[in-house]
Structure 1
Amino acid sequence: MMEEQFICDEKKFIRQEVEKMREFSFNINNEDGLKLFLKEGTAEIFGRELPQYTIQQFQKGDRFSIFTWTGCVLYLEYMSHSDFFQSTDESQYPIYANINQYLHEMRSQAQDQRKIGPKILICGPNQSGKTTVSKTLTNYCCKLGWTPILVDLDPMLNTVMAGGCIGACVCKDSYPTNGIEIKNKIIFFHGYSRIQLGLLKNQIEVLGNTVQKKLQNNLEQFLKKHNLQTAPDAEGAQQKTNKQKYPSQQNIQNSTAQIKLPSGVNINQMLLLPQDKQMFSSGCIINMPPLQSREQKEVIDLIIKHFQVDVIIGLDDQVFNSLKQNQLLTNGYSVIRTTKPSGLKTKEESELVEEARKINQKLFQQYFKGLNNDIDCHNQEVNLNDLLVYRLKINEKNSLANTSMQQQKQIYERVDLSKENVTKSIVGVLNLTRSSVEKLKEEEIFEKISKSTLSLLVHLSDMRTNQPYVRLFLPGLNMENIIKENVCVIGDITWFESSSDKKK
């Protein structure tokens, strides 16, 4: 979604009224995308307020909903009737608002007790609306003044970075619309558009521990700054939180009645809260990776363990019932059942892969050439023999469908790029010096590489014929030493610079 200065002829737009407490869903199929603006009333997209008289530009493949608490008037400009529109009063937004209130109370109590706030896992099958719920709850959370850590474990289409990566960042204002713009984040280079479970397992472990440490450090800094100590009864109270103070998941699920606003008060006025909310009490929101159903339990348990998850939002009956059968509800977890977002049109797997590819190509272009495609790529020619490059050894036994995570054994093997055609590949340069792995055993190398964070991405642009030289695209200047001194990893992620990517 992009915002443009309001300069338009209203005659070219179609007027669309949306009644209060209704949701208007879009699935954009038109090659030229869709433009719209809000003229009257209030509305939100993924829980983020839509400003009046500001043109919003959407691209082909975008799926989103506009919800209004009070009623609104939209103006739409589109060229194709193949676009899918749906208006419904069976919106999930009131449920999300109730869930958010529940989470807000948890965060408020954590703030009062000087404890780390809720760690929330959003889980469900593919195309169940996990990202929609993540966006909405993150935006509602930020609107209330909290600053949660957002964790995205989807390497196919990642919010925090481009495809092929997983990572986390602190959300101060809203859910990020472009991960390339985020400055302070922690990223792991997965390297593949299809999940490699052995690799994912190690990266979840390190990322979870890192997020926990970030929250704990923020708490300790807060206590030191204000000369405070943790409340003496906080630990016992925290264990009783789910059973005593907060509504059960059943109550949240059943509270689908429309939220009634007091006369003369709008939703934004109700969201004004006292200041001094901290990162530690904001907790984190985790978007689960897309996995096949029989692998979900292993990954859910792994995420719970390393992120110390205490709230789970299930978007599917099978997932919800599985959690109950595993007795998570009796082990201090709060499990909330909700349903697939309204108007979410299911797509074929091939469509999703192609859409993700196009989005990632755009993100790589912005990474190397600037958000407005107005920067010449920094490039450097290097000798391939000066690079230490590894690739994950892939075989059919590592297939997501055929092997459980406990049976996974993956290794990184060194790659001689001079003997392969790897032009257009994206390479991850890790925060790992080559001297730290040169004398390690095979299994030790896998542990080291898989648990190392990403320093930067480089693009193998062109290779000299019959010579071991390659021209690299870099995101900045003076990075040659980093590339030569650190370990590099290559997978199946590529960027093909199109004519539209070239500087105009």
Structure 2
Amino acid sequence: MTDTAETKEYILEKDCELRFEIESKTQIIVELKSGFAELYGTELVKAKKYTFLQGAKVAVFSYQGCVILLTGEPDVCYIARETPMIQYLNTHSAIEQMRAKAEERESQGPIVMIVGPTDVGKSTVCRILLNYAVRLGHRPIFTDLDVGQGNLCVPGSISSLLIERPASIEEGFAQIAPLVVHYGHKSPDANNEFYKSCISTLADITIERLKEDKRTMASGIIINTCGWIKGQGYQNIKDAANAFQVGIIIVLDQERLYNELLRDIDSSCKVVFLPKSGGVVERSQQIRAESRDLRIREYFYGSRSPLYPHSIDIKWSDMKLYKIGAPALPDSCMPLGMKATDNMTKLWPIQTGPSLVHHLLALSFAETAEQDVLKKNILGYVCVTNVDVDRQTITVLSPQPRPLPNVVMLLSELQFIDSH
């Protein structure tokens, strides 16, 4: 940001939203001059400057009216008077009543799942509902089933995180000790049988975590899903609703999906339709790929607060590397009594070699392959930066120093080229 960057003043009336996007390599500084405003449920502090970088799509909302100072030149910037925020607030109020009843009865609170096609703002609605809950003293769990983008860990995984404080305006939720299940692909249809198994595993450990604390149990779970809503993707939504014992399904911007769920979901689960925000922007395949690379980079190097990963050499003999799922074969080629889908959730040993370079590896909590690796969450990820065939070692980028906490590793198809 140069010293000559222009500062503009925007006056927001009651229930209005200032929306802007940054596509170029610039940065925008936002400051609340007067009044009250929030970003996706997190309140802005008056006179504090917030910096947004390339790729940011921001919507600052005010229930009472405010004055916003914006320094820099965003690619798109306007004030929206038509916004679904009041409907999102009403949805939060209904969920809050369910939490109050759960606290009185010391029972399980509401489990809410957000569904809809890609690029309708599912992650944003999750963030709004979670922030509103935390601001009232609750401790909900956020579960992310979107393997393509990875809100809580690297893409290619699904995860749950206990939310104890509102998301940072610039960096989002503090991602401390999430429960992560390794999947290893960027879309569910790459191995849908295994994806369903991952959902079941994450549901089991998340509900177990939910019951450890009375306040968390009454606070419930907010679940984000991927945008695959047709065919097997629709079946995955129903399977996830059953696995997590979902009580409310919020459908964003897809009346057909809303009516299909009304027809197919048990009447004990409420299905609610909400509009998407007018500020939601459709992302191209290239932008989504760049976003995945950025999430992996942030995992190892941090975003605003820098992290310093370690480079570690591991002997081939000291590691046990597997992949989950084999190439699909027709049923006619399978042994008697087996189906082709049976191979999609099996553990297969991997030969270490140069082809591993740039691939992510997940470190399993299982100490041996016999401990049912598929049913355990993982410790974290490392990235292979070099394979030395002569010395029979691999070099990995690791968030923590040597020694690695486990030697059972699972191969991910996602890659990261370390340019540091």
Q: TM-score, normalised by structure 1?
A: 0.75
Q: Which residue number corresponds to residue 288 of structure 1?
A: 225
Q: Distance in 2 between matches of 1:374 and 1:186?
A: 20
Seen in structure 2, the aligned counterparts of structure 1 residues 74 and 8 have a Cα distance that, compared at 3 Å, is farther
Q: Report how far residue 56 of structure 1 moved.
A: 1.4
2:144 equivalent among 144, 147, 152? 152
1:297 equivalent among 234, 238, 242? 234
Q: Which residue number corresponds to residue 411 of structure 2?
A: 490
1:392 equivalent among 324, 331, 335? 324
Q: After superposition, where does 1:118-157 map in structure 2 within 5 Å?
A: 118-157=110-149
- Structure 2: give runs of 5+ residues left out of the alignment: 331-338
2:310 equivalent among 374, 378, 382? 378
Q: Which residue number corresponds to residue 161 of structure 1?
A: 153
1:357 equivalent among 293, 299, 307? 293
Q: After superposition, where does 1:382-461 map in structure 2 within 5 Å?
A: 382-393=314-325, 395=327, 408-409=341-342, 410=344, 411-418=346-353, 420-434=354-368, 436=370, 448-461=372-385
List per-residue Cα deviations over 1:255-300 (Å, max 9, x = no partner).
Answer: xxxxxxxxxxxxxxxxxxxxxxx11110110001231422332112
Q: After superposition, where does 1:42-61 map in structure 2 within 5 Å?
A: 42-61=36-55
Structure ranking higher in helix proportion: 1
Seen in structure 2, the aligned counterparts of structure 1 residues 184 and 53 have a Cα distance that, compared at 3 Å, is same
| Amino acid in structure 1 at the alignment position of 2:9 | R
| Amino acid in structure 2 at the alignment position of 1:208 | A
Q: Is the 8 A contact 1:159 1:178 kept in 2?
A: no
Superposed CA RMSD in Å reads 2.5
Tell me the percent identity.
Answer: 20
Q: Report how far residue 435 of structure 1 moved.
A: 5.6
Q: Which residue number corresponds to residue 262 of structure 2?
A: 324
Asked whether 1:108 is paired with 2:46, we answer: no
Q: Distance in 2 between matches of 1:394 and 1:310?
A: 36
Bigger radius of gyration among the two: 1
Q: Is the 8 A contact 2:118 2:228 kept in 1?
A: yes
2:202 equivalent among 198, 207, 212? 207
Q: Distance in 1 between matches of 2:125 and 2:149?
A: 16
Seen in structure 2, the aligned counterparts of structure 1 residues 349 and 8 have a Cα distance that, compared at 3 Å, is closer
Seen in structure 2, the aligned counterparts of structure 1 residues 489 and 38 have a Cα distance that, compared at 3 Å, is same
Secondary structure in structure 1 of the residue aligned to 2:212: helix
Aligned length: 406
Q: Is the 8 A contact 1:429 1:488 kept in 2?
A: yes
Q: Report how far residue 327 of structure 1 moved.
A: 4.9
Q: Distance in 2 between matches of 1:154 and 1:69?
A: 31
Secondary structure in structure 2 of the residue aligned to 1:202: helix
Q: After superposition, where does 1:231-250 map in structure 2 within 5 Å?
A: none
Q: After superposition, where does 1:175-214 map in structure 2 within 5 Å?
A: 175=167, 181-195=174-188, 196-214=191-209
Q: After superposition, where does 1:332-371 map in structure 2 within 5 Å?
A: 332-366=268-302
Q: Is the 8 A contact 1:161 1:180 kept in 2?
A: no
- Structure 1: give runs of 5+ residues left out of the alignment: 1-6, 220-277, 399-405, 438-447
Asked whether 1:37 is paired with 2:31, we answer: yes
Q: Is the 8 A contact 2:300 2:398 kept in 1?
A: no
Structure ranking higher in strand proportion: 2
Q: Is the 8 A contact 1:38 1:73 kept in 2?
A: yes
Q: Distance in 1 between matches of 2:83 and 2:249?
A: 21
Q: Report how far residue 162 of structure 1 moved.
A: 2.2
Q: Distance in 2 between matches of 1:374 and 1:202?
A: 33
Q: Which residue number corresponds to residue 162 of structure 2?
A: 170
Seen in structure 2, the aligned counterparts of structure 1 residues 302 and 65 have a Cα distance that, compared at 3 Å, is same
